[in-house]
Structure 1
Amino acid sequence: MSLNNTTVPAMINTVSTIPYDTGDNAWMMTSTALVLLMTPALAFFYGGLVDHKNILNQLFLSFVCMGIVFLQWVLFGFSFAFGPPVSSGFGSFGWSVLRFGESYNSNYSPTYPLLTYCAYQATFAIITPALISGAIVGRMKTIPYMIFIFVWSTVCYDPMAHWVWGENGWLKQLGTLDFAGGTVVHILSGVSGLVASIILGKRHDYDPKSTTAHNLPFTILGTCLLWVGWSGFNGGSANSASGLAALAVINTHTAAATGLVTWVVIDAMRGHVSISGACIGPIVGLVAITPACGFVQPGWSILIAIIAVCVVYVLLLLKKYMHYDDTLDVAIVHGCGGITGAFMTGLFSQKWVNEAGGSDGAFYGRPVQLWYQIAGILTAIGFAAACTAGILLPLHWTIGIRLAKEEEIEGLDVSAHGESWEVAASNAVSNLIASMIEEKLSRTRHLEQHGSFNLQYIPPNAGEKSITVPVSNVSIKAEAPPDCNTQKNEEQEMYTERSNEV
């Protein structure tokens, strides 16, 4: 994504007779696969942190982006972001439905097919709206969410990608540096997540002092896969299998490792090491280094990660005093992490590190670069906030975006999808019910029952309605043994044992 700053008079897009560099093409296709992996990795990262009643829905909110956004990207998204420009602010329909075929383009893919570049950029477009889903956990209707990500990708992500990475984008021409998505991906998604959470309002059972994380192994798995996938996220942004790609990759892993260690050390100093916190640490380091990884020396990546983790850690401690419900802290981790990284890119970047697209920062005698970074940061914040509010408020006033209270309390897995992931728990309940029925009707030769097992909450106020939550639907078919009396003690022991297990 970091391309030569030299202004090219016209978009060159012709069928090439010169063989492509197979090494560059192979690296870019590998990077495409790595970044695409990050969306299901994000699903696991988020999924392990939410309440058990919303895990399937949370996985779906990331998964569905792979379908909706990629289709949008092929139809017109890539053309809006990188197609023949109408102006420095907008692309066009010129490359809609990817009509260019296996063409050569000197601006975006000088050594490999333009289709490879299109596929690589599509993976960025997919994961960006998926990041927003972490801010709206458990309270947004599914259909409005899908409409939102389609429209948001079109009116928010595509123009911002053009401004920052398009050959004639106005922020690129201004001098704003963003190697792999600090502004385009993380600030956009963080700010949009914050605005979405404010418009939706707090969850009915919101408690800022508690955590609903139910499956931290999922979160650890997601963290590790995100870390691996970030190699393509940042390394592929070099646009070739080059020394610049190697620099981006080493900076990426250095920042992730620093973020992990920094978070663990701070936690240990405060008395205990949180597993969920240890997963957030490397993510913050990765977010912060993303805009800078192709512009700074590896030593700076350590400092960038330390500063970003400290900023995010303090903000998370202060979150309980903030009056909004960003469920998985998208605004703080991605928004503030991206802002911190983009700002420090203006401090520590060096021209010699990236001769083609880099610039010297404030620490190397060029303080104006810091102002170019601030311009990009403020543009991303304002544009993301305006687009998100402009999409969600009309949806809220027309079809509605917020779940009913009863559906929210029940959980979206059941209310939105009619399914549950807790197979083991359901089987345990079914076994318990089977034992109970067999014990009570042990003298009946044949038995077939269909029913449900419910938990009931009875409020202390007699005027309030009680709440019944179905735990399991069961179907029991049993046959009593020939001599029930001789097995009475054995059945009683079996019933007691299964009850204790559940």
Structure 2
Amino acid sequence: MPPGITTLAADAPTLSAANTGFMLICSALVMLMTPGLAFFYGGMVRVKSTLNMLMMSFISLGIVTILWVLYGFSLAFGTDIGSVIGWNSDYVGLSGIGITQLWDGYTIPVYVFAVFQLMFAVITPALISGALADRVKFTSWALFITLWVTVVYFPVAHWVWGAGGWLFELGVIDFAGGTAVHINAGAAALGVILVIGKRVGFKKDPMRPHSLPLVMLGAGLLWFGWFGFNAGSWLGNDDGVGAVMFVNTQVATAAAMLAWLGYEKLRHGSFTTLGAASGAVAGLVAITPSGGAVSPLGAIAVGAIAGVLCAMAVGLKYRFGYDDSLDVVGVHLVGGVVGSLLIGFFATGGVQSDAKGLFYGGGLDQLGKQAVGVFAVLAYSLVVSAILAFLLDRTIGMRVDEDDEISGIDQVEHAETAYDFSGAGGGAAPRTTASATAPGTTAAPQTKKVDA
């Protein structure tokens, strides 16, 4: 409600079964994105690192869930303290919340809002993992997640979305996580890789994806889950804003995929499946902050611009020498920056708010606010993440031994391999066995069919 207006009891929101059901479905869709990300990243690494890459995403589902219940929800969405953090003792352990208690001003229970936001908190550190493929100790990674969400994600989520958070109060638009999720994760990835260094053989050995079908499956699951990620962020659809966000999500993703493919055809001469998957993800990232502020035509522009710029950005690691294994910086950091800043140009003032961008007569005001949000989150996450990585590296160590990295991190960290080829074959094969006989005698061989 606007400041100074008192809500009468008769006008107070009541629980909506439709919105509650919708938000529970959206929460499940966002949860699916983390396994989808695991497959997307898992297919992009070499065979010897597949399981480790999957586990670096899956472990976030465990760690962040527990931290969110214990204190994360309170820090991110509790009563504002100094515009930088929240706190509400009723949210600690989610123990002081009534089962029918509504989230402030909305028609869904607090529990539903909490679980929806939990899924955002889960996937954000998982995004970072793609930049660190092949070389990080699993125990160190788990501890990094614990520290990072506590001192980076929870405070930044409050800045951006919490009532009283300083970026929220400034008027920075971030519909579903361009700053809090993607810039946050991308900047963190850059900070960590600058500390831990390059993979053995970077720029020398071929490090091609071992399973492009797995990459495409992961990208498809991400695209599917992203509708819950984006459309659900309006916390209901009584006024149609969520529907606009749903449409813009599809439109921008399609435009980015086509733009990425067009760029790589001109630049490298081929349309690649990896390019299609990466382009789609770049579009999803860019429309996440902006989709509630732009029209479908604006979404096409946002997606196309992000597709080209992210395709260009992934090659910067070779020019500048930082080893961003799976292009987290090139896609999530750059895509988040592009999508957030383009609000300052393409915001129509007719969807989620009345803020207008430069192309719709709004001047440079909103662009300035977006730039403050972008660079504040980028700088904070980059610096703090680098410090955390440095401290862990100097204490328990962040990297596996060089020999273990070369031989394969899956065996070293998980005592497993992704694929067992020992029984590979096809159809029924004849096997010759000897009958049991008395010692010193010879039996005629017998042949039987055994399924391989």
Give the TM-score of the pair, scaled to structure 1.
Answer: 0.82
Distance 1:111 1:54, change over 3 A: same
The equivalent position to 1:399 in structure 2, one of 396, 401, 415, is 396
Letter in 2 for 1:149: I
Per-residue deviation at 1:385?
1.1
Secondary structure class of the residue paired with 1:416 = helix
The answer to whether the Cα contact below 8 Å between 1:82 and 1:91 also exists between their aligned partners in 2 is: yes
User: Hey, what does 2:181 align to over in structure 1?
Assistant: 185
The 1:8–1:116 alpha-carbon spacing in structure 2 relative to 1, beyond 3 Å, is farther
Over 3 Å counting, the alpha-carbon distance change for 1:319 and 1:265 in structure 2 is: same
The amino acid across from 1:196 in the alignment is: V
Deviation at 1:353, TM superposition (A): 1.7
Q: Is the 8 A contact 1:8 1:167 kept in 2?
A: no
Question: Would you say the 8 A contact 1:132–1:189 is kept in 2?
Answer: yes
Within the alignment, does 1:169 sit opposite 2:165 as a pair?
yes
Which among 203, 207, 213 is matched to residue 203 of structure 2?
207
Distance 1:233 1:18, change over 3 A: closer
Q: Equivalent residue for 1:298?
A: 296
Paired AA for residue 228 in structure 1 = F
In structure 2, C-alpha distance between the alignment counterparts of 1:301 and 1:398, rounded to whole Å: 46
Instruction: Identify the match of residue 323 of structure 1 among 298, 316, 321.
Output: 321
Residue 153 (1) aligns with residue 114 (2): no
How much does 1:8 deviate? Answer: 8.1
**Structure 2 CA distance for partners of 1:446 and 1:413, relative to 1, 3 Å:** farther
Which residue is 2:276 aligned to? Answer: 278
Q: Which residue of 1 aligns with 2:111?
A: 115
Matched AA of 2:83: S
The question of whether the paired residues in 1 share the 8 Å contact of 2:103 and 2:113 is answered with: no
Pairing 1:64–2:62 present: no
- Which residue of 358, 369, 372 corresponds with 2:369? 372
Unaligned runs of 5+ in 2: none
1:23 to partner: Cα distance? 1.1
Indicate the residue corresponding to 1:32 in structure 2.
27
Instruction: Judge conservation of contact 2:24–2:112 (CA < 8 Å) in 1.
Output: yes
Q: Does 1:419 align with 2:416?
A: yes
Alignment partners' CA distance in 1, 2:99 and 2:360: 42
Counterpart in the other structure of 1:266:
263
The correspondence of residues 16-31 of structure 1 with structure 2, limited to 5 A, is 19-31=14-26
Q: What SS class does the counterpart of residue 68 from structure 2 fall into? A: helix
1:182 maps to a residue whose letter is: G
SS of the residue 1:206 aligns to: coil
Q: Tell me the equivalent position of 1:125.
A: 121
Q: Are 1:333 and 2:347 an aligned pair?
A: no
Aligned counterparts of 1:9 and 1:87: Cα–Cα separation in 2: 24
Q: What secondary structure, in the 3-state scheme, does the structure 2 residue paired with 1:400 have? A: coil
Q: Would the alpha carbon gap of residues 349 and 209 (structure 1) be closer, same or farther in structure 2, given more than 3 Å must change?
A: farther
Larger radius of gyration, structure 1 or 2? 1
Counterpart CA distance in 2 for 1:248 and 1:285 is 13
Deviates more, 1:52-61 or 1:97-106: 97-106
Q: Which amino acid aligns with 1:78?
A: F
Query: Of the candidates 475, 482, 485, which is equivalent to residue 443 of structure 2?
Result: 482
Contact 1:104 1:110 in 2 (8 A): no
Which residue is 1:245 aligned to?
A: 242
Alpha-carbon distance in structure 2 between the residues aligned to 1:184 and 1:406? 37
CA 1:18–1:258: 2 relative to 1, 3 Å: closer
Q: In structure 2, how many angstroms separate the alpha carbons of the residues matched to 1:70 and 1:204?
A: 34
Q: C-alpha separation between the residues in 1 aligned to 2:221 and 2:338? A: 24
Aligned amino acid, residue 347 of structure 2: S
Post-superposition offset of 1:342: 0.4
The residue number in structure 1 matching 2:224 is 228
**Aligned-pair CA distance for 1:41:** 0.3
Which residue pairs with 1:219 in the alignment?
A: 215
State the aligned residue count.
437
Helix, strand or coil: the match of 2:315? helix
Question: 1:199, CA displacement in angstroms?
Answer: 1.0
Q: For residue 350 of structure 1, report the CA deviation from its aligned partner.
A: 2.4
Q: Deviations over 1:445-481 (max 9, x none)?
A: 879xxxxxxxxxxxxxxxxxxxxxxxxxxxxxxxx99
Question: Using the alignment, how far apart are the partners of 1:8 and 1:39 within structure 2?
Answer: 41
Question: 2:312 matched to which residue of 1?
Answer: 314
RMSD: 2.8
Runs (5+) with no aligned partner, structure 1? 448-479, 491-497
Q: How far is the alpha carbon of 1:18 from its aligned partner? A: 6.8
The residue type paired with residue 416 of structure 1 is E
Shift of 1:33: 0.6
Per-residue Cα deviation, 1:337-396 (whole angstroms, up to 9, x for no partner): 1001100011111222224xx511222222111110000011111110122022111111
1:87 pairs, out of 82, 93, 108, with 82
Q: Is the 8 A contact 1:76 1:93 kept in 2?
A: no
Q: Per-residue displacement from partner, 1:63-103 (whole Å, max 9, x unpaired)?
A: 01001001100100000000122221111152211122325
Counterpart position of 1:77: 72
Partner of 2:346: 348
Contact preservation (8 Å) 2:159, 2:168: yes
**TM superposition outliers: structure 1 runs of 4+ over 4 Å:** 7-10, 16-19, 444-447
The one-letter amino acid paired with 2:352 is: N
> For the structure 1 residues 342 and 482, does the alpha-carbon distance in structure 2 shift closer, same or farther, using more than 3 Å as the test?
same
**Residue 55 (structure 1) shift:** 0.5
- Give the C-alpha shift of residue 324 in structure 1: 1.1
Q: Distance in 1 between matches of 2:171 and 2:33?
A: 29
Pair 1:17–1:315, CA change in 2 (3 A)? closer
CA, structure 1 residues 208+383, in 2 after alignment: closer, same or farther (shift >3 Å)?
A: farther
1:294-338, CA deviations, whole angstroms, 9 ceiling, x for partnerless residues? 111110010111111111111223432221111001011000010
